[in-house]
Chain A
Amino acid sequence: MRRTTLRTLAACGLAALALTTAALAPARAENLISALSNDRVNIESNFTGTKIVVFGEIARDALTVARPDPYDLAVVVSGPEQVVTTRRKGRFLGIWVNRDAETFESVPSFLAIHTTRAPHEMASRTVLQRHRIGLRNLNLPIAIASDVPIGDRDNFRAAFLRLRVESGLYREETQSIEFLSNSLFRTSVTLPANVPVGDYTVSTYLLRGGVLLAQAEEQLTIAKSGFEQFTYRLAYEYSALYGLLAVGLAIFTGWLAGVIFRRD
């Protein structure tokens, strides 16, 4: 009886020691290496969306602390930040008009969150929030001068997330990271046709037991190319020329049609 208790105590002590060592020696923790199948996505006239593959390796060596549990991974692809206004219609004099609005300052224009399992099982909310793991853990800063009462803010927040998910710009996919071996993993992220252009970051997080062990970051550029890029730049940077060009093209097309189809 006493012997068993002693043995249990000793085991506990050892386990505690092991945990302490692990916490004290992060240098011996895993390294995370990540890479993208493409670090540049070009949008051309036939663009209807695409996929990029994020893959990587959990690098360990002989000195890495042995851990019996499986790793948790999260891949977060986030697009350039935007200021987004969410509006709610209300009835006014019998018709439905936009009445209340909440402005979110700096939210990602695109967000794809891929994880090995449901985010809330992976770590505490604090950790998840810091790294945008899970749509529920997204921090949406609102404008200081917000007129929306505090009790109503969650409705706007929920509506914003719902609409973004519906339009395909935000996505959360649990169990979407595939392990090819003990240490190799990959996941395929869909970029929809309406994906915003700009500079993206692809962050990969390695967690275990609620602790962030390592992280890696890659850059991804989504840009219009060729004719689309040219047209877009012309429209924004040389607006007058673009306007004249549009008018000229329209008059020419109309004139041409008038000449081709003349009946007299």
Chain B
Amino acid sequence: MQIYLPIAELPVNMFMLFGMGGAVGFLSGLFGIGGGFLLTPLLIFSGIPPAVSVATVTTQVVASSASGVVAYWRRKMIDFKLAGMLLVGGVIGSAIGVWLFDLLRTLGQLDLVISLSYVTFLSAIGGLMLFESLRSMARRKSGARIAARQPGRHNWVHGLPFKMRFRQSRLYVSVIPIIVLGAVIGFLGSILGIGGGFMMVPALIYLLRVPTNIVIGTSLLQILFTMAAATFLHAMSTQSVDIVLALALMIGGVIGAQFGARMGQKLRGDQLRLLLALLVLSVGVRFAVNLVLQPDELFSVSAAVAEVRR
């Protein structure tokens, strides 16, 4: 069944959208991530203009994280104060991201920046995760004890000024790294159409030493607000949020996520992280190959955004 997308201005098969939303939703439920980094490239490869893909995926991420937030809120596993500070950074980062997005689109380098950022971030994070999960699997096999959280041990982050107490996370740290982290993720989110959960979760655990059970709910809440801001800013400045596309993706996504979450409970943590690492890496490699190999078509055309369109 074909449906005409009012903003992307082309018809697409609705079942294809449900399918893509569902598949990505499944993975997002399985790994506890937003899945934007998979959905955006999928949409671009299926012919939807990159600008519309990126902006619309931010809307879809709002829906998927809202569904997660509801669940964690009920279990009281969200540190609102920490999420609030992350959010301050997130809004700043999103605003810069949307501004740069608009600028790059007029310069014709948007596709390049999207590809380069995907290659860089996905390869780096995928690589780190792969390394970490393999090491923890090896350690489990050899029977060694996994080091528990050591509250007394501090890293460089704890030496920074402007300290603040986060009661729920049992933390007393500087707000600088928190705001910077929020800003970086908000920035990447609006440029790449990703929630950044796959970066936020490890950063909160390893850098700030937030207890793992608080991390996911807090990160989801932060992503919810950052992506809501990004959606709004995209709607204001680039007008490329396609509400029909977003809705089709959301419906597939939230249903897929439920099945993914059930499946995820049957797998061990390090297995999940290994699979996720391979997934992240392969998307990164896919973009890298595209950049390095000579494209079949060297030329591209893009119409200037008309000022008055009806």
Residues of A within 8 A of B302 (CB): 84-85, 87
> Is residue A109 within 8 Å, beta carbon to beta carbon, of the partner chain?
yes
Stretch at the interface among B134-142, B149-157, B289-297: B289-297
> Is residue A254 within 8 Å, beta carbon to beta carbon, of the partner chain?
yes
A259 adjacent to B235 (CB under 8 Å): no
Complex Cα spacing A231 to B59, Å: 16
What residue in chain A is nearest B8 (Cβ atoms)?
A194
Q: Which of A136-168 contact B (CB under 8 A)?
A: 156, 159-160, 162-164
Complex Cα spacing A244 to B229, Å: 9
Complex Cα spacing A85 to B250, Å: 34
Interface hub of A197, A223, A228, A240 (most chain B Cβ within 10 A):
A228
> Is residue B218 within 8 Å, beta carbon to beta carbon, of the partner chain?
no
B299 adjacent to A159 (CB under 8 Å): yes
Residues of B within 8 A of A97 (CB): 109, 112
B9 adjacent to A261 (CB under 8 Å): no
> Is residue A132 within 8 Å, beta carbon to beta carbon, of the partner chain?
no
A246 adjacent to B246 (CB under 8 Å): yes
User: Known: A85-B301, A194-B9, A254-B70. Is A98-B292 also a contact (CB below 8 A)?
Assistant: no
A47 adjacent to B11 (CB under 8 Å): yes
Q: Which of A40-92 contact B (CB under 8 A)?
A: 43-48, 82-91
User: Known: A94-B292, A163-B300. Is A251-B11 also a contact (CB below 8 A)?
Assistant: no
> Is residue B228 within 8 Å, beta carbon to beta carbon, of the partner chain?
yes
B241 adjacent to A235 (CB under 8 Å): yes
What residue in chain A is nearest B250 (Cβ atoms)?
A253
B7 adjacent to A259 (CB under 8 Å): no
Complex Cα spacing A109 to B305, Å: 12
What residue in chain B is nearest A85 (Cβ atoms)?
B302
Q: Is the interface of B mostly helix, strand, loop or mixed?
A: helix
Interface hub of B3, B62, B234 (most chain A Cβ within 10 A):
B62
> Is residue B46 within 8 Å, beta carbon to beta carbon, of the partner chain?
no
Contact partner of B292 (CB less than 8 A), chosen from A95, A160, A240, A253, is: A95
Complex Cα spacing A255 to B73, Å: 11
Q: Please, how many residues of chain B have a CB less than 8 angstroms from a CB on the other chain?
A: 64
Residues of A within 8 A of B251 (CB): 253
B250 adjacent to A250 (CB under 8 Å): yes
Complex Cα spacing A109 to B303, Å: 9
> Is residue A232 within 8 Å, beta carbon to beta carbon, of the partner chain?
yes
A236 adjacent to B231 (CB under 8 Å): no
What residue in chain B is nearest A195 (Cβ atoms)?
B9
Contact partner of B235 (CB less than 8 A), chosen from A95, A101, A239, is: A239
Complex Cα spacing A160 to B299, Å: 8
Q: Which of A160-198 contact B (CB under 8 A)?
A: 160, 162-164, 193-194, 196-198
Contact partner of A98 (CB less than 8 A), chosen from B6, B75, B300, is: B300
A262 adjacent to B65 (CB under 8 Å): no
> Is residue B236 within 8 Å, beta carbon to beta carbon, of the partner chain?
yes
Residues of A within 8 A of B237 (CB): 239
B64 adjacent to A249 (CB under 8 Å): no
> Which residues of A are in contact with B by a Cβ distance under 8 Å?
43-48, 82-91, 94-98, 101, 109, 156, 159-160, 162-164, 193-194, 196-198, 223-224, 227-229, 231-233, 235-236, 239-240, 242-247, 249-251, 253-259, 261-262, 264
Known: A84-B301, A249-B250. 11 other contacts (CB 8 A): A45-B4, A45-B244, A83-B304, A87-B302, A96-B292, A97-B109, A231-B243, A236-B309, A250-B231, A254-B63, A258-B67
Q: Which 6 A-B pairs have the closest CB atoms?
A: A254-B66, A243-B235, A258-B70, A257-B254, A159-B299, A250-B62
